[in-house]
Amino acid sequence: MGRDLVVQLTASAVRALQARSTPLHVEMELYFSCLIRKRLLFERPPRGEVAWVGQELSLSFRPVMSKGGCSVADTDPEDMLVDLPTGEPQRFVPHWLKLDYRGGRWQGEFSY
């Protein structure tokens, strides 16, 4: 979306990426409801604009809101979310992303 994003990978994340036979896709979701929630979604099909970090990692950013109500639960049904009509989504793109691989699971965080 025309903005720089600093991506930091731990040594275990680099090893896990290199061991994969397919690229890893990470979606950074910024959810607007009564509160704001940030979460990383791993292994989902890419949607929207995708940025590649090498050949092993793709990233996307999706600002969303709920269709109704005021839920900030960790698991929202996908059909209850809609893209946030921001007009300028690049203004919401995070500044940095940190990824790690521990105990057989991807984890990380992003922020501004």
Residues 6+ apart with CB under 8 A from 33: 65, 66, 69, 70, 71, 72
Residue 96 lies in a domain: yes
DSSP secondary structure string for all residues of 27-42 = EEEEEESSSEEEEEEE
Residue 1 lies in a domain: no
Residue 91 lies in a domain: yes
User: What local confidence, expressed as pLDDT, does residue 101 receive?
Assistant: 98
> What's the whole-model pTM score?
0.81
C-alpha distances out from residue 74 to 22, 44, 49, Å: 27, 16, 24
User: What local confidence, expressed as pLDDT, does residue 85 receive?
Assistant: 66
Residue 36 lies in a domain: yes
Beta pairing class for 81-83 and 96-102: unpaired
Residue 21 lies in a domain: yes
How many Å apart are CA 102 and CA 112, to the nearest integer? 24
User: What local confidence, expressed as pLDDT, does residue 23 receive?
Assistant: 96
Which stretches of the chain drop beneath a pLDDT of 70?
Answer: 1, 68-80, 82-86, 89
* Structural domain of 61: 6-111
User: What local confidence, expressed as pLDDT, does residue 79 receive?
Assistant: 60
Q: Where are the beta strands (DSSP E) in 33-76?
A: 36-42, 51-53, 57-66
User: What local confidence, expressed as pLDDT, does residue 86 receive?
Assistant: 67
- Determine phi and psi for 20, rounding to 5 degrees: -75, 150
Domains held by the chain: number: 1
User: What local confidence, expressed as pLDDT, does residue 93 receive?
Assistant: 86
How many Å apart are CA 19 and CA 40, to the nearest integer? 21
